[in-house]
Amino acid sequence: MKKCVTFGEIMLRLATPGYQRFEQSNSFEATFGGGEANVAVSLANFGLDAAFVTTLPANDIADSAIKELLGLGVDTSFINRGGERIGIYFLEAGASQRASKVVYDRAHSSVSTADATSYDWKKIFEGASWFHWTGITPALGDKAAEATLEAAKTAKEMGLTVSCDLNFRKKLWTPEKANEVMSELVKYVDVCIGNEEDAEKVFGIKAGTTDVTSGHLDHEHYISVARKLIEKFPNLKKVSITLRESISASRNGWAAMIYADDMPTFSRKYDITIVDRVGGGDSFAGGLIYGMMAGKNDEDALNYAVAASCLKHTISGDYNRVSVEEVERLAGGDASGRVQR
């Protein structure tokens, strides 16, 4: 069985129930998630070996995060324990024209303060063929950025495929800082995933005048973004861009493109009634990596990734709890949602 390693931050996710606003709620639904952990869970669900690497404090809350990952089949044996705290994010689910709201409380988390030298990447990558990280990890701070670089370099040296989801987070760093750090990191990447906004914020790559809030998309723009990324980073073998039409917080259009060998491929597009939007991008990355690791061609991998990620939007929590069979059924064309009995 093929193995993929992901590296980043896992947070306690505290979400208000239903559509309650923060001020209304006297309880939180408590789960865990984070871009890279989410990808690891996707891959484990799809039957691959997946290890998630991070640093977590030695307390009961972090224990729960690890137990949940264990139960989902993720290898947690390379998670270091130490530091002060597990990051937290508070989530208030939006609906219709009201946007979902995230309040971060992730500063000083164990993974952001852990020394770059605390991870033994050679040992971690033993037996692995893929390494995935996202732009959130280096944004956590200089130590985390250093660790990411060390990891990416080691992965390349050891012959792993390296993928990166750009994932720009404006509350974590500025575009300037992101540009500086990511420009070095993306040199060690084979497969780059992102959306239009990521490319612009991180690398100043503009796709023109498309108004992403209006519901209109323009294929040419996305192709141009992909081309510019590859021009800037010739090491990139494939660039994949997700195309979200934000009709409202309750309904999104969802599709993606992959660009490889000078060829763009566009996926089928889904009209999604949203249950939980968070983790949507990660589920795309998880689907794409699975598709490629499973040996699918670009189009099939892309359609698998978009279908996987479409299904994620119907599942509460960060993790995409779906099986290969379910994704294949949707990618194969049955989007009817008929009762399985």
Examine residue 36 and tell whether it contacts a second copy (CB under 8 A).
no
Contact positions with a second copy (CB under 8 A) in 68-107: 68, 70-73, 84-86, 88-90, 92, 94-105, 107
Answer whether 5's CB lies under 8 Å from 128's CB.
yes
Region of 3-11, 64-72, 139-147, 225-233 interacting with a second copy (CB under 8 A): 64-72
Binding marks (x or -) toward a second copy, 148..177, rule CB under 8 A?
---------------------x-x------
Active site residues: 282
Angle between helices 298-312 and 280-293 (to 10 degrees): 150
CA distance 99 to 81: 35
CA end-to-end distance (rounded Å), the chain: 31
Q: Look at residues 303, 259, 313 and name the one whose alpha carbon lies nearest to residue 281.
A: 313
Angle between helices 219-232 and 196-203 (to 10 degrees): 40
User: Which sign does the torsion angle of CA 266, 270, 274, 276 carry?
Assistant: negative
Q: Look at residues 8, 2, 287, 289 and name the one whose alpha carbon lies nearest to residue 133.
A: 8
CB nearer to a second copy: pick between 29 and 299: 29
Examine residue 28 and tell whether it contacts a second copy (CB under 8 A).
yes
- Given 5, 8, 11, 31, the residue binding a second copy (CB under 8 A): 31
Binding marks (x or -) toward a second copy, 109..148, rule CB under 8 A?
----------------------------------------
CB nearer to a second copy: pick between 99 and 116: 99
CB nearer to a second copy: pick between 140 and 189: 140
Helix (H, G, I), strand (E, B) or coil at 103: strand
Contact positions with a second copy (CB under 8 A) in 42-61: 59-61
Region of 147-155, 183-191, 226-234, 247-255 interacting with a second copy (CB under 8 A): 247-255
Instruction: Report DSSP state, residue 75.
Output: B
CA distance 250 to 273: 6
Region of 18-26, 220-228, 256-264, 293-301 interacting with a second copy (CB under 8 A): 18-26
Examine residue 262 and tell whether it contacts a second copy (CB under 8 A).
no
Contact positions with a second copy (CB under 8 A) in 275-334: 275, 277-278, 307, 310-311, 313-317, 321-322, 326, 330, 333-334
Task: Give the CA distances from residue 298 to residues 78, 294, 333, in Å, rounded to whole numbers and listed in that order.
Answer: 31, 11, 18
Place of tokens 């130490």: 82
Contact positions with a second copy (CB under 8 A) in 173-212: 212
CB nearer to a second copy: pick between 72 and 151: 72
- Given 213, 234, 261, 325, the residue binding a second copy (CB under 8 A): 213
CB nearer to a second copy: pick between 58 and 263: 58
How many binding residues for a second copy (CB under 8 A)?
86
Answer whether 66's CB lies under 8 Å from 41's CB.
no
Q: Which residue type does 217 have?
A: L
Helices (H), 194-256: 196-203, 219-232
Q: Tell me the closest approach of the beta carbon of residue 330 to a second copy, in angstroms.
A: 6
